Amino acid sequence: MKNTLRNTLIALITFSSSAFAAGNSSASGGGLLLSLFIGFFALIIVCQLVPATIMLVGILKGLFGRDTKEVTTH
């Protein structure tokens, strides 16, 4: 058991050294594809907010608006 744990730790340290040598690769800014990806999801959110706002205005008009129908009895 002790031998297996030691070999596993040695393998992890050995294979992870190339990941530590990569440095700070995220400083490049992302590029065009990242901007398009974020913009696409922002567009989806905006397209969902427009109908939700229209529905909210309709609900508020229905709750607080005046009732124009008059009930007549015969």
Whole-angstrom distance, CA of residue 24 vs CA of residue 11: 24
Note the pLDDT tens digit of each residue in 7-55: 887 877 777 666 555 555 555 667 888 899 999 999 999 999 999 999 9
Note the pLDDT tens digit of each residue in 52-66: 999 999 999 999 887
Radius of gyration of the chain (CA): 31
Question: CA distances (Å), 46 to each of 41, 50, 56, in order?
Answer: 9, 7, 15
Whole-angstrom distance, CA of residue 60 vs CA of residue 53: 11
Whole-angstrom distance, CA of residue 50 vs CA of residue 23: 43
**What's the pTM?**
0.43
